[in-house]
Homo-oligomer: A and B are copies of this chain.
Amino acid sequence: MANQLVGEANMAIVAELIEGGADYYCVVDGAENVRQLGRFFAARGLELQVLIELGVSGGRCGCRDAAQVEALVAAIAEQPALRLVGIEGYEGMIAGGDEVAAVRAYGERLVETVRALQASGVLACEAPIVTASGSKWFDLIAEAFDQAELREHYTPVLRPGCYVVHDHRLYAGAMAEVKARQPRLEGELRPALEVFAHVQSLPEPGLAVVALGKRDIGHEPDLPLPLRLYPLVSQPGAASTPVDVTAWRTTHIMDQHVFLAIPHDAEMDSAGIAVGDVIAFGTSHPCLTFDKWRRLLLVDEALRVQESLATCF
């Protein structure tokens, strides 16, 4: 779990998982949390595997410097129920300036830190874990781990979560940058998450109101991206032949509506678009769409449903 484990109710859930046989790890970045975890898991007669989180200044969680790491190692050593087995980081918080250089430096810092901990004998396992990487810079983190030949004595783990569905702009752009940095790389991630919605109203020239809102789709950093229009009403005979509408533009999103700027020649009751047509939208970034649906549908190229997937939020 690439997060701190906080709160006794949450610790109790994890304790049950460990008792059930789970190989569980969480991250720690503060002495108080370490004491709470040590006390709780000792009382349950269990051992908890922890990774020290390495943060960046001005970032989110995680130790900012070597002194904080050292203090945390000492705090963990005082808790017999905790086993320190590696380090964790997230370079996705780095922004501004020469980001590539900063991410590379962060990767090196992870490597140096885990090596220093290993050398000092505080890591209680054979092949300590060192893990980082969001969905934007995974190649740079992989390079840092690879150049340091971590695989021999450590367990390097990348965890860019957006590979599951990728997206249509933010991570599509990040993927293009990865490809530019790594010309030998074959293949690439492709966007695989779309949300479908009806055209609900065509109240003014150039404006389509679509039945898609903040309740249905993530909208940050980019508003939903119109991809294809299925002309169910405007051209019923061609309903299964979608029209490319990637040139159209979402101008506004509300709780339950999207405003779409459409060409004036597609307006109102013309053949171009009609209330009742369906538009497929892409997202950027993808993550905040999952929590809005209890089920996702896995479809084939012809949109035939292959599987219904339950979400867990």
Contact = CB atoms under 8 A, between A and B. Distances in A.
A291 B288 contact: no
B201 A30 contact: yes
A245 interface: no
Contact of A6 (B33, B60, B199, B313): B199
B292 A255 contact: no
A257 B60 contact: yes
Interface in A109-149: none
Contacts of A198: 6-7, 10
Given A36-B233, A215-B313, A7 B291 contact: no
Contacts of A269: 31-32
A296 to B, nearest CB: 14
A209 B59 CA distance: 10
Contacts of A274: 32
Nearest to A255: B287
A287 B215 CA distance: 9
A215 B3 contact: no
A30 B6 CA distance: 53
A49 B256 CA distance: 23
In the complex, the count of this chain's copies comes to 2
Contacts of A278: 7
Interface in A28-48: 29-33, 36
A243 B32 CA distance: 20
Q: A interface, how many residues as a size bin?
A: 35 or more
A55 interface: yes
A7 B276 contact: yes
Interface stretch (A61-69, A170-178, A185-193): A61-69
Interface in A157-215: 198-204, 209, 211, 214-215
B313 A203 contact: no
A94 interface: no
Given A32-B275, A269-B31, A3 B255 contact: no
Interface string A253-294: 011110100000000010000111010000000011001101
Interface of A: 3-4, 6-7, 10, 29-33, 36, 55, 57-64, 198-204, 209, 211, 214-215, 220, 233, 254-257, 259, 269, 274-276, 278, 287-288, 291-292, 294, 313
20 contacts: A3-B256, A4-B200, A6-B198, A6-B199, A7-B198, A10-B198, A30-B201, A30-B203, A30-B275, A32-B233, A32-B274, A58-B204, A59-B203, A60-B254, A61-B203, A64-B203, A64-B204, A214-B288, A215-B288, A291-B292
